[in-house]
Structure 1
Amino acid sequence: MAENFADLFEHAVDAMPERIALIHEDQRITFADLDARANRLAHHLASTGVGNGTHVGFQMHNSVETIETLIACFKLAAVPINVNYRYGAAELSYLYENSDIAVLVHHARYREAVGQARSAAPLLRYVIQVDDDSGADVPDAESGVAHYETVIATGSPARPVIDRSGDDLFMMYTGGTTGMPKGVMWRQEDMWRVLGGGIDFYSGEPVADEHQQSRTGAQGDPSTWFVLPPLIHAAAMMPTFAALWSGNAVILSPRFDPGAVWKALAAHRAHILVITGDAMARPLLDSYAAEPVDASSVLAIASGAALLSQPVKNALLEQFPSSVISDSIGSSETGFGGIGFAQKDDDPARGPRVQTGRGAVVVDADGVPVAPGAEGWLAKKGAVPIGYYKDPVKTDRLFKTVDGARVVVTDDRARSELDGSITLLGRGNMVINTGGEKVFVEEVEGVVKSHDAIYDAVVVGVAHDRWGQQVAAVVSTVGSEPVEFAAVLAHVRRYLAGYKVPKQIWVTETIVRSPSGKPDYGWARKHVAARPPDHRED
């Protein structure tokens, strides 16, 4: 069994060549055409020295060319490196250097940042610019930057003959909620198993062989997936490839525009909508309410990378009663860890609860599973990453061997429930210590956001002379009316102990989140440090 990303894609091409693979505005790309263009790019990259293990950065928003670049890399057994296009020059320089990128493919709108950053990356020897809607000029021959459409025309449409295996490296750079980005290394077979459909998401059963996805897909009618998160995140990349490997079509959009999303969804009759938490769900709900479309084709709305709050789950269930609303847990370090399905009016103070899957388990500090009902650290056994790129110290800290099995122990606190499910409590490195009591910010955020007047919220700890830290919140509101702080805090007290109630509140127009929908806690800390609160309790 090859169990390699390129082989899985080529199986789908061979089984369903004339099916539509990608949809972008008026473009409809078949599997055969996508394969041929990816082959052309692969041959050109190979002519520049790209081969097994070469690191190829892609600093690109969602587009057909992004998928082509990824597939071309996988065909050569090269390693695509996701570059966050929101980074400034200093962050880019760090990532280029840390990831040892040799070749970079980027959209034209990012060329200025690329130019500023590449001088600090001595291994970066070749750059390709991709056209976009920014109006940027095509690079000339003297710029030292190649033009994507020009170079792709020089390559052969035939598949390159390369030795590939399930051991080929897959790497995902993740910044998480804090710290500098770090590369998580996976064997492709393991990533396929945990996030690409190599294990059935619902039954937990491994697929029979590398052809099962394409074989099953060819036997049925295709579905259409609309994957909204950026492809620079595993929460978008892996659902996209899982869809392609099964012969389904994927709609691509270069940026998140809720109104445009609904119009495209209605036009293409999408069946699956992939989002990331409240950061996408709330604007989508607002846009739909303002200008509804025919969304009757939608069978499932699946959130990953960032969890949905209970009020948003309620709203989605009310607006789309025929659709399944799911919440998945996982990370670049664990892959898929479990899935939960939304129910109306659950307790907003209770952490997300998921049925475990793919080896998710709650362990103690030594990596040993805890008893049912006990708290510990969320961990993953089975198919797990190799470790962090160029960071053996962090690798040794998170990856352990218990009873002969390799286990990755995350920074997430969780509770093993009596019914076999797992309740997430919050990130251990985000815990607020107030007078010796531990407060998980995610628990407080969920309750604050469940108040009708609150649109979004991020919770952080602020210094306090007596208690060490106090709980504080930065919120954005629904509508333009002033916040009734007393009503919001009374609501929070109905669900949480007094020491968990925010003692200071800042009101802002917009809560800053990452492209994947995760809260930007660094931004929140800077925000509260720069101005007095809008409400304070002693």
Structure 2
Amino acid sequence: MTQPSDSGWNFADLWETIAAQIPDALCQQQGDRQIDWASFNRRANGIAAALLAAPNAAEQDKVAQYLYNCPEYVESVFAAFKAGMAVVNTNYRYASDELVYLWDNGDVTTVVFHGAFVDQIEAVRARVPRITTWLWVDDGSGTCPEWATPYESAAAAGTDDNVSGPWGRSGDHLLLLYTGGTTGMPKGVMWRQDDLFGVLDANNRKRMPPEQDLDLVSQRVQRAGPRNMPSAPLMHGTGLFNAISNLMIGGSITSMQGRSFSAEEFLDTIETFGINSTSIVGDAFAKPILKALDAEPDRWDISSLRVIVSSGVIWSKESKDGLLRHNPRLIMVDALGSSEAIGMATNTTTSESGGGTAKFELGPNTRVVTEDGRDVEPGSGELGQVAIRGRTPIGYYKDEEKSAKTFVTIDGHRYSIPGDFATVELDGTVSLKGRGSQCINTGGEKVYPEEVEEALKLHPSVADAAVVGLPDDKWGEAINALVELEHGAEFDEAALRQHVKDRLAAYKAPKHIVVIDTIGRAANGKLDYKALKAFAETH
């Protein structure tokens, strides 16, 4: 048996307590698979034991998840936390060099992977000698390679006796969330479990105390909690933190079976399992969902769905209004945050409130500051960066230089400033302008791609858009747009340019617009601006 942590909240202690309270309640499901809380705990014990049996296993060894969305993802996270180890997310779209960089930089010793990735691993395994344990998750794509161990064998060996390492557990134990951002190599954001618990718990109506109190957890979790579906990949913060948040209150997690987003599967799953809440990636998900609902308004019953949370990319008013037509009881939350800063600001839309895009209400620990640390005056039009204090990451893994740039001290308080630029309106709300790394300087004016992209996407012919700056003799940089058209739509460059001018200052309108087959937005909503810029330069 294990002893609870005395140094802050630890997810292993928390979930073991919940499993003891509601053992028969649903915890995870995918298709026909259903896993109750008791099984979730037993299987994680089996994997934790396998992790601890690895050669030279040590406290805070790094365990990487190289998986599509599936029950094994969160299960292996639970197992690592039980064993006192840290987890490392792995982008399953990475090529060989990126995988090697990530696993080497993250000091990974164990990888949990889907069978579909065997070839990718075979290509790099010799370059990552630190990794001694490979846990193969059967996805029907082939047999387990000789250098790996079947995940299911280890999970099935688990018992009800909770497993922990000889070093115990701690709220100081880490979750590493690698973020690609828009420039440079991936950076490993270090979240203490205690801090991550605190910042996620802030969204709950009944807050938990700062110190871990498992007796209080037992009192509060008496029955199954809400049914959640992280539509975004668990390999990104939006999906993973959404899942962790729901499990914190005894809820269940449903994973879709498809390996790319399908609006039809999304709606089928909500109806079949009575999903209460979900996370999406702005219009990248909302537009196809709305298109499917509009095409067949009587096909799906989505009345069980109460809350949709979006993070990572703009979610337009038009999409929100459309979703409300199909489910007037929806609460839609735009969450401004990043891997480095959770809960900076929100924008909530209901059928009563209405709501636009890009304007957010700041959280209690959030401010907009200038480069010299002053607060931006409301209504001044001055540009600043959104900063949040309180429970924030301790830095980037093995990168003190970049940590010092993002995590700074202002007025005696430590802030996380991940790079979101904004102005402050007279009413105190903030209007996002975008990330500074992509700012375009055209004729002495600063233009942020996101606001131009948002304007373009409001045109009915545009499915998605990207904006880049290209060198220009007259303007220094000229604004260029790439648009992905809706199926069957006609391209009218002049009309699109005027459409932007009708909504933004004229100098923000693209000087040149080209059509691209697909914008290629990643599953977390981010764009590969380097590749898009290269395309624009040749078209």
Aligned twin of 2:128: 121
For 2:427 and 2:174, how far apart are their aligned partners in 1?
37
Q: What residue identity is the alignment partner of 2:522?
A: S
Q: Deviation string for 1:449-468 (max 9, x for gaps)?
A: 11111111111111212111
1:308-327 correspondence runs (5 A): 308-327=315-334
Mapped contact 2:183–2:437 kept (Cα < 8 A):
no
For 2:360 and 2:156, how far apart are their aligned partners in 1?
48
Aligned twin of 1:266: 271
Aligned twin of 1:360: 366
Mapped contact 2:345–2:363 kept (Cα < 8 A):
yes
Aligned twin of 1:410: 418
Counterpart of 1:15 (choices 16, 21, 30) is: 21
Aligned twin of 1:464: 472
Q: Deviation string for 1:211-257 (max 9, x for gaps)?
A: 48845753566321111111111111111111112111111124222
Counterpart of 1:66 (choices 39, 49, 73) is: 73
Mapped contact 1:5–1:74 kept (Cα < 8 A):
yes
Q: What residue identity is the alignment partner of 1:453?
A: S
- SS state at 1:410 partner: coil
- Any gaps of 5 or more consecutive residues in structure 2? 1-5
Give the percent of matched residue pairs that are identical in Structure 1 and Structure 2.
34
Q: Does 1:86 align with 2:93?
A: yes
- SS state at 2:417 partner: strand
Mapped contact 2:42–2:155 kept (Cα < 8 A):
no
Q: Does 1:234 align with 2:234?
A: no
CA 1:347 to 1:33, structure 2 compared with 1: closer, same or farther past 3 Å?
closer
For 2:327 and 2:191, how far apart are their aligned partners in 1?
37
Aligned twin of 2:3: none
Q: Does 1:512 align with 2:520?
A: yes
For 1:66 and 1:116, how far apart are their aligned partners in 2?
23
1:336-415 correspondence runs (5 A): 336-342=343-349, 352-357=358-363, 359-373=365-379, 374-415=382-423
Mapped contact 2:336–2:345 kept (Cα < 8 A):
yes
Counterpart of 1:136 (choices 142, 158, 177) is: 142
| TM-score (norm. length: structure 1) | 0.92
Counterpart of 1:158 (choices 157, 161, 164) is: 161
- SS state at 1:361 partner: strand
Q: Deviation string for 1:24-75 (max 9, x for gaps)?
A: 1011111011000000110111011434210111100111111111100011
Q: CA deviation at 1:402?
A: 2.2
Counterpart of 2:38 (choices 32, 35, 50) is: 32
Aligned twin of 1:100: 107
Q: What residue identity is the alignment partner of 1:336?
A: G
Aligned twin of 2:59: 52
Q: CA deviation at 1:283?
A: 1.7
CA 1:216 to 1:362, structure 2 compared with 1: closer, same or farther past 3 Å?
farther
Q: Does 1:427 align with 2:430?
A: no
- SS state at 2:153 partner: helix
The alignment's C-alpha RMSD in Å is 2.4
Mapped contact 1:60–1:107 kept (Cα < 8 A):
yes
Q: Deviation string for 1:373-396 (max 9, x for gaps)?
A: 343111111111111111111111
For 2:197 and 2:17, how far apart are their aligned partners in 1?
14
Q: Does 1:329 align with 2:336?
A: yes
For 2:82 and 2:331, how far apart are their aligned partners in 1?
35
Aligned twin of 2:307: 300
Q: CA deviation at 1:136?
A: 1.4
Mapped contact 2:25–2:223 kept (Cα < 8 A):
no
For 1:376 and 1:307, how far apart are their aligned partners in 2?
19
Counterpart of 2:249 (choices 239, 246, 250) is: 246
Q: CA deviation at 1:156?
A: 4.5
Q: Does 1:494 align with 2:497?
A: no
- Any gaps of 5 or more consecutive residues in structure 1? 533-538
For 1:205 and 1:244, how far apart are their aligned partners in 2?
14
Aligned twin of 1:178: 183
CA 1:496 to 1:345, structure 2 compared with 1: closer, same or farther past 3 Å?
farther
Q: What residue identity is the alignment partner of 1:240?
A: A
Mapped contact 2:359–2:431 kept (Cα < 8 A):
yes
For 1:86 and 1:210, how far apart are their aligned partners in 2?
39
Q: Deviation string for 1:413-445 (max 9, x for gaps)?
A: 112333333222211111111111111111111
Q: What residue identity is the alignment partner of 1:159?
A: N
Q: Does 1:3 align with 2:9?
A: yes
- How many pairs were matched up? 524
For 2:247 and 2:210, how far apart are their aligned partners in 1?
16
Aligned twin of 1:218: 221
For 2:213 and 2:464, how far apart are their aligned partners in 1?
43
Q: What residue identity is the alignment partner of 2:25?
A: R
- SS state at 2:221 partner: helix
For 1:169 and 1:369, how far apart are their aligned partners in 2?
32
Aligned twin of 1:535: none
Q: CA deviation at 1:517?
A: 1.7
For 1:345 and 1:218, how far apart are their aligned partners in 2?
32
| TM-score (norm. length: structure 2) | 0.92
